C-alpha cells in the first residue's frame, strides 16, 4: 500500500508511476514472490478538487488487470492512496466469500480514505462495539471493521493520532474478555499487524504497529528492509508513505509504535510524529 499528499494540485502522474511503473511499484510487489502473491484484489482512492472521494477497485489481482486502462479515469487530485491485497481470513470463511469489490481496499466514507496491512483477529467482537456504525460494514474484510472502529474514535476524540491510540486500547480491552474463546482456536493475539494509512482532503496519517509479529521476513523487493516497518519521504513538495520502498532511492523508516501526521497548512506540508 502507499499514499501521497502534495502541495501540487495534481499528483496523478507520480501516483500512477508508483502504482504501475517504478522498479518497486505495487504492480511489481504483487508478483515478486510466488509464495506471497498479492492476488486478492487491488484498489485506489483519491479526493477530487471538489472534496468528493472517488475510487477504482477490482477483485482481480493487479498483475492480471490492465492498470493503465483501469485508471485512465483522468483523475486529478493532490491526495491518492492505493492497496494490493493478500486477504486475511480470521473468520476462516471460504476464500471465495472474501474476494469481491466490497471486500477490496481502500475503504472510505465522505471524509476519509483508509487502507490497512495486517489482520484484526476479532472483527465480530469489535463490530458489536460500533453502535450505529455497524450498519456501515458492507463486506467481510476485517480491515473494513477496523476502518469504522477508527472512524468511531475520531468522532469521539476529534484527533486522529489520539483516535489511533484509543482504537488500539479498545481492541486490547475487548481481547481480555474474549481471548479464552479464541485461544481454543489457536489465535493468540487480537491483531497481527496494525499498519494503517488514513487520509482526508487536507491531511494524511499513518500508524505502524506490528509488535505481535515474530518474523525474520524481509520486504518483498528491498533486501534488508524489515517486514512490517513502513517507509516515507518528502520529494518536490510531495509526501509519500508506503508499506515498503517503491524505488531504489532513499526512504525514511517508520518503525513499530510510530504515528505520523502530515497536514497541509497554506502552501506547506507540516510533518509531526507521535508514539503509541
Residue 133 sits at the vertex; the CA angle it makes with 130 and 137, to the nearest 5 degrees, is 100
Q: Which residues contact 124 (CB under 8 A, 6 or more apart)?
A: 91
CATH number of 106's domain: 3.60.20.10
Contact between 58 and 104 under an 8 Å Cβ cutoff? The reply is: yes
Domain count, the chain: 1
Question: Which contiguous run of DSSP H or E holds residue 126?
Answer: helix 123-127
Buried b (16+ CB within 10 A) or exposed e, 86-100: ebbebeeeeeeebbb
DSSP 182-226: HHTTT--SSEEEEEEEEEETTEEEEEE--TT----PBPSSSTTPB
**In tens digits, what is the pLDDT along the chain, a chain of 276 residues?**
999 999 988 899 999 999 999 999 999 999 999 988 999 999 999 998 888 999 999 999 999 987 766 665 567 899 999 999 999 999 999 999 999 999 999 999 999 999 999 999 999 999 999 999 999 999 999 999 999 999 999 999 999 999 999 999 999 999 999 999 999 888 999 999 999 999 999 999 999 998 755 567 789 999 989 889 999 999 999 999 999 999 999 999 999 999 999 999 988 999 999 999
pTM: 0.95
Peptide bond into 106 cis (omega under 30): yes
Place of cell 487502507: 115
If you ran DSSP here, which 8-state letter would residue 63 be given? G
Between the alpha carbon of residue 37 and those of residues 17, 64, 131, 184, the distances in Å are 21, 12, 36, 29
Segments forming the whole domain that contains residue 261: 2-275
E-state strands within the chain: 2-6, 42-47, 53-58, 79-84, 107-108, 113-120, 191-200, 203-208, 230-235, 238-242, 252-254, 258-265, 268-275
Strand pairing category for 107-108 and 79-84: unpaired
Amino acid at each position: 500500500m502507499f499514499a501521497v499528499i502534495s502541495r501540487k494540485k495534481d499528483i496523478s502522474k507520480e501516483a500512477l508511476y508508483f502504482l504501475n511503473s517504478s522498479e518497486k511499484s505495487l504492480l511489481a510487489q504483487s508478483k515478486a514472490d510466488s509464495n506471497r502473491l498479492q492476488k486478492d484484489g487491488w484498489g485506489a482512492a483519491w479526493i477530487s478538487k471538489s472534496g468528493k472521494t472517488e475510487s477504482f477497485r477490482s477483485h482481480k489481482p493487479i498483475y492480471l488487470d490492465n492498470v493503465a486502462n483501469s485508471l485512465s479515469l483522468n483523475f486529478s487530485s493532490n491526495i491518492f492512496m492505493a492497496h494490493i491485497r493478500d486477504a486475511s481470513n480470521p473468520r476462516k470463511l471460504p476464500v471465495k466469500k472474501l474476494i469481491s469489490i466490497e471486500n477490496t481496499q481502500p475503504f472510505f466514507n465522505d471524509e476519509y480514505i483508509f487502507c490497512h496491512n495486517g489482520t484484526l483477529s476479532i472483527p465480530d467482537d469489535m463490530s458489536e462495539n460500533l453502535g450505529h456504525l455497524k450498519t456501515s460494514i458492507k463486506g467481510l474484510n476485517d480491515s473494513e471493521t477496523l476502518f469504522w472502529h477508527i472512524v468511531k474514535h475520531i468522532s469521539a476524540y476529534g484527533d486522529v493520532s489520539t483516535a489511533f491510540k484509543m482504537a488500539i486500547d479498545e481492541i486490547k480491552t475487548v481481547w481480555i474478555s474474549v481471548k479464552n474463546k479464541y485461544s481454543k482456536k489457536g489465535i493468540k493475539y487480537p491483531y497481527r499487524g496494525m499498519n494503517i494509512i488514513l487520509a482526508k482532503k487536507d491531511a494524511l496519517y499513518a500508524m505502524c504497529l506490528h509488535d505481535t509479529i515474530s518474523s525474520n521476513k524481509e520486504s518483498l523487493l528491498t533486501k534488508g528492509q524489515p517486514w512490517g516497518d513502513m517507509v516515507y519521504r518528502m520529494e518536490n513538495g510531495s509526501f509519500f508513505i508506503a508499506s515498503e520502498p517503491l524505488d531504489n532511492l532513499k526512504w525514511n523508516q517508520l518503525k513499530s509504535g510510530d504515528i505520523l501526521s502530515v497536514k497541509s497548512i497554506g502552501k506547506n506540508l507540516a510533518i509531526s510524529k507521535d508514539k503509541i
